Structure 1
Amino acid sequence: MNITTSPALNPLRPLLTILVGLACLSAGGAGAQTSPYYLGASQRFTHNSNVFLAQDATAKSDTISSTGLRVGLVQPISRQRLSASLSANVNRYSSLSALNNTDYALDTRLDWETVDRLSGNVAFSSRESLPADAAALSSGLRNLLKVNSASVQANLGGVTMWSFDAGAAVSRASYSEALYARNNTNQTSINAGARVTPASGLSLRAGLRHANVSYPNAGNDVRRNDLDLSATVNPGGASVFTSRISLTRENHSLADRNVSNWTGALGWNWKPTGKLSTSLNLSRDSSNGSYDFTSGTINVGASNSTVATTLGLTAQWEVTSKIGLTGNLSHSRRSLDNALTVGTGVAPSTASDRTNSLGLSVQYAVLRNVDLGCGVTWSDRSVSSSGVTVLSAPYSATTYSCFGQALLR
């Protein structure tokens, strides 16, 4: 591990800079009318007790300063709606300066509709940052993950109880470090389905999906087919229930990893009052060709994760008109093997791990377009495997962060 050390950053300089920016932006935008554009700046300080998500005996902690820019647009155009956002952050580590990087996230989307009950959307996103996958951080190097994705979706219906949808998505993921290049992926997906609304508050859908996943640096290809059955139930009160069950089949070209199993998701959104809302979600899916039904794009997961089961709970409480609290709790179980990327002639390793995470944050709206906040997150992972050092390692980490953000609209 080749990590250089630099003198500690002076935390006052970026903090003073952002405070001056906050004052200027809020003073200039206090009496302005809302526009479709926004421009903003942010400053965040984070202390991470285990930067590389390594075993506790070798954990390295650091404090990171992230200075960011926010630019966005939300513009109705006749029946259409165009939205775009760009966020970028300059991240500087106090001690582990080899990890200094600039991350960014660009998202664009056009929602369109015609007078003939035809509607849909076109979306594109591009982002680059240090990955959250512990395996990608284990080298101790600045291993940046870059993901470009695009999707198109069309829907026919809306007046009758029947509607139909179809779409396609493409995604490309690449790592900057050669040691992890075997995990680079190219993914494409197509989907089609029919939805029926037999009664108010009840929606049923049946659909088909096909995905191709290629690992160009490993010479492996994956074909995935899904039969989806889903339902949304809104009884008219404070709750909305969602469910999906899918028969999933994967065929792999070089690895003896063909599988046929059940995947799916359950969700419960509950809003008992105007100030409190909760969301409980359970999902089970594999990483290859996993489709995001909300954004219409393909998720990019760790290639060594065969199946992941995740249970998550999020609660938001609006304490006052200016103060909000958010809490989240999650538990994840993964089955792992490296059959896709280990290469020919080498026996693959298998493993399984469990990760628990708990987070709590508070946000304070100083002015209409100025926010401050702090948060803390605890996480730990346990591993069951003879190949712990290859696929996954146990760790615990605590992260504290505080931020300030101002937007000019």
Structure 2
Amino acid sequence: MTATKTYTQSQYTILYVFISCLFLIQPVGALAVLLLVCYASPSMGQRIWHRNIIFLIIFSILLLAIINSSKVNDNDLFYYVRWFKRSGNTDLLSYLSGQKKKSEAAYATYVWCVNHFISSKEEIYKFLTTVIQYIFLNLATLKFCQKTTVNKGVVMAAVMLTCFNPYVFSLSIQLLRQSLAISIFIYVMVERCLYQKTHWILLILCPTIHTMTLLPVILLFIPILDKPIKKNITVYSIVLLIIGSIRLISGYLLSLSIFSDSTASYALQRASATKVFDLGEASPAAILLAVTILVTSFYCSQMQTRNATDNTSNGLRHLFNIPAIIAVFVLLNVNLSEIFARFLMLLYPFISLIFAALFRTSKISRLMFLFGSIMILAIFIYLTLHSVWSYTNLDNLLKSGLLYLVV
């Protein structure tokens, strides 16, 4: 048995070397091979299967980071890169004091540290930021599936949906402050709701990277959200009433001197404003997406984790009540384009968690989830090639990946 185990490990070592070399030549092809390996590996044991999933995540993140590093600087990204370059010409305290949004000092500190201690090249800045975002998102997905999901095909598809969700990726570098803060929050949320672990440092980082995450952070500490709605209908109604009146409440709190010059002050200013940027009317597709996430999140909140009984708190109720309430807030502000768009962005990473929850005990064969995973990758590549965003030599990057960057 030991000889067989050693032989199997030797085979997989050779396979990983082959896939790594293939990734240099054809990254998309390497991911397709890894999907086939993940599909076949459950019969080889839990350890090997888990290792294959980790390799799938690593190579997926590398591909995403390579693509983002080639993104042309336009719109918000232009200003992010400009401030990144400026950080190289000053010390940290001077750089922080020159920031307009002093309440979001954690992001400015991150930018300064990358420039001074890692690289002053903007491509490395984009690459590293993408890697960090997707590490947190995939850790959250794996931890979520570990607690809830039985079907290994679902785990594979959930990982692919986490990495190649076009909604998440299209904004991952374009609105990188928001994306970075959201990705950290998703991980912290899964850890707190399902494992009763609170990562306080990461939690504090979220609103100090982008104040938009202050709302979900607050929701994370409302214990009633882990209680059944039927038995607490009055309290839930009060929570929804507060959410619906958040602009009025924010305006009142902003008038109090205790909130001057703080992270809360900036968040209240944005929450109470009727219009900061006019992003146009919300599209029917965006409204439908918000409604879908609201309905599916509410449904998922009624589920149980694998080891919980019907009369115990399992964390899923609290976890999925957060996107449900945010979706209500988004729909109530459908006429306020910036608030609608920015808070809808908070919901995008929940799509993979909702998927994993809905299909967690599915009897659908792994072959169907393999097909779905390949389709997710194919759709992502198509949408990226036909994106409204511009990339430098994207065709070459998709064909030869890291080899193109080296050569």
User: RCO greater where, 1 or 2, for CA within 8 Å and sep 6 or more?
Assistant: 2
Structure number with the higher helix fraction is 2
Structure number with the higher strand fraction is 1
**Is the TM value for this pair above 0.5?**
no
TM-score scaled by length of structure 2: 0.31
TM-score scaled by length of structure 1: 0.31
